Chain A
């Protein structure tokens, strides 16, 4: 274990964190503002990736595919909102879970019917297909740096939107007390629709950006969904700042845990059991972290004001 490796793994952890933020941002908005548990966020992420592959095959340009897929994601999200979600806002969380879970099943089968069950691939756009030398023998794809930049830019954009615009003020107010906002004369239905559409677009955007480095296949959203929920629970529901910091924290804990758990355990036990116990503990770490946060700070580490 060298200092260089530690630095590289920290960078990897931060990159994973930014990736998680891209995915969790839309979810926390929707959950925070509308008090709506949207399990279908994962399949919206998957759909974004599939749409990007489809548009790329049609147009041959990543940029065109990005824009078209974003618009298509938005359209599909609004369609879902109109057809299914809008009837569920007043309902019990459990009913929202059941309905959105149904959408997960439906879309997972749907993409298989539309695009087949084989994994698909989206190539990295030519402009960003190079690599930089990170350490002797290890190259770092430029596209990953693009993803980090996109995530940071998105965080900055959301911060500006939420803090300094009127719509953002309404979103923050809605996250604290939706009923009061409605009573004050704001068209809460329209606000919900805009927030939901934006959340869907964020999910789709994450799917499109990540597709070049991961395989696009049915069910790709399911693991990601769980991680996204862990992020928003630790960060605090409805809080963009919380989601960002929690995502970075989880990225670091998970990556450093996976990299060094065996080495750390080898200090106290023999190599062979360390090799078995290490990965098991590493995969549990983020959930242990979530349990601890829920125990000591049930509202999350950085809850939205009014919810703490």
Chain B
């Protein structure tokens, strides 16, 4: 009898030991996605989620060889809500990575709760200057850009193309002020006027009259979301599009173009990517995204999230699927050994990307849909200005 018990015990122990070894590899990879899914910004938040999930789907539902389990949370554009949900993700659900958010104020709120728990945070959109510089964090990676860079693209273009007089306009909040400062840091010509409008302004008749009176060569505006839709329509209706060049950041992109339509044709924006970018992985991505999500053309929020998934996949391949050794995982992420949809991609010392930036122009595709297209390259291997202040532990 005891002999049987011994054999039984040994077999059980053996089986358990074997399954424990298998467990790490078979255990699902938990990814928490925190993004804005309510209110008008839900368009952007949805694109972030959809871009990331498309990448996982195309990879057979796996990243780094492990099946992915998603935890998608809506931050409702409220920092306090975001903190609660981010804490739940890292403490209760024990996610391996947190991906998100769209908005800078949410990023600032969730940075500490997520990174203090040792979980790696990857932002496919928000990229504030403090986390690029003095508040840089070893557990934080960015696949988009540092916010100021996009505005500088337009400033440099205006400066280099000989535009003499520019009219500036942005909403009256921190991001608006940062935007115009970013533009002015690269543009040294004459500023006709610098106007701050209340967030959510619907009717721009007063501002359009001011623009007409000032007779600038170009306008530069940062009017995200519905504000941009309204301004573009009214700008065109006021007949200013033929006389004044339209330069913008985050105002004409694939999330607003379906509403702006013909009114936005020929208008300029700045970006690190455009849907018509000519490399094989991007062409495949745009086609797959349109097929999967009802014919919608992806915007930058989608492609950057897709790249974040590719980044995680590449890092996990190097650590053989394990997230246990954080130092090894961080080193693998830093290598950024994946084919980015934008072509060249590498991380700076502060975990923000060094990449090319382009002037993009709104155009109509052959099938009648609107997208931005690469017009010219403005910056090559552009690193943000804050990296030197980063002393990463």
Contact = CB atoms under 8 A, between A and B. Distances in A.
Interface of A: 2, 4-5, 8-9, 12-13, 15-16, 19, 108-109, 112, 116-121, 124, 131, 134-141, 143-144, 213-220, 223-224, 255, 258-259, 262, 275-276, 278-280, 282-283
Interface in B116-174: 172
A19 B261 CA distance: 25
A219 B39 contact: yes
A109 B42 CA distance: 11
A270 B206 CA distance: 23
Contacts of B239: 131, 137-139
Contact of B229 (A108, A119, A124, A280): A119
A5 to B, nearest CB: 5
Interface stretch (B50-58, B209-217, B377-385): B209-217
Interface residues of B, number: 41
Interface string B350-381: 00000000000000000000000000000000
B197 interface: yes
B245 interface: no
Given A9-B206, A117-B43, A119-B256, A215 B230 contact: yes
Contacts of B243: 137
B40 A217 contact: yes
Given A12-B209, A117-B40, A119-B259, A138 B238 contact: yes
B172 A218 contact: no
A129 to B, nearest CB: 9
A119 B197 contact: no
B233 A215 contact: yes
Contacts of B230: 213-215
A255 B243 CA distance: 24
Given A121-B258, A218-B39, 14 more contacts: A5-B213, A9-B209, A13-B206, A16-B205, A109-B38, A119-B226, A120-B259, A138-B208, A138-B209, A140-B238, A213-B233, A215-B233, A279-B196, A280-B172
A255 B201 CA distance: 12
A161 to B, nearest CB: 28
Contacts of B27: none
Contacts of A259: 206, 209-210
Nearest to B177: A276
A131 B233 CA distance: 13
Contact of A119 (B40, B172, B207): B40
10 contacts: A12-B209, A112-B42, A118-B255, A137-B212, A138-B239, A141-B238, A213-B230, A217-B226, A220-B202, A262-B195
B248 to A, nearest CB: 16
Interface in B212-252: 212-213, 215, 225-226, 229-230, 233-234, 237-240, 243
B280 interface: no
Contacts of B238: 131, 138-141
Contacts of B225: 119
- Quick one: which of A9, A143, A213, A215 has the most chain B CB within 10 A? A215
A275 B194 contact: yes
B42 to A, nearest CB: 4
Interface of B: 38-40, 42-43, 46, 172, 194-198, 200, 202-203, 205-210, 212-213, 215, 225-226, 229-230, 233-234, 237-240, 243, 255-256, 258-261
A138 B212 contact: yes
Contacts of A217: 40, 226, 229, 259
A219 B213 CA distance: 33
B237 A213 contact: yes
A140 B209 CA distance: 10
A250 to B, nearest CB: 13
Contact of A118 (B194, B212, B258): B258
- Quick one: which of B46, B207, B237, B243 has the most chain A CB within 10 A? B237
A12 B256 contact: no
A278 B206 CA distance: 14
A214 B260 CA distance: 10
A5 B206 CA distance: 10
Given A131-B237, A279-B195, A215 B229 contact: yes
Given A9-B209, A140-B238, A121 B259 contact: yes
A141 B237 contact: yes
Contacts of A282: 198
B240 A138 contact: yes
A7 to B, nearest CB: 10
Which 5 A-B pairs give the minimum distances between C-beta atoms?
A139-B239, A215-B229, A138-B212, A12-B205, A119-B259
Contacts of A120: 258-259
A279 B209 contact: no
Contacts of B229: 119, 121, 215, 217
A136 B39 CA distance: 39
A279 B258 contact: no
B209 A219 contact: no
B175 to A, nearest CB: 15
Given A119-B40, A119-B256, A275-B194, A214 B202 contact: yes
A221 to B, nearest CB: 11
Given A117-B40, A137-B243, A213-B233, A5 B196 contact: no
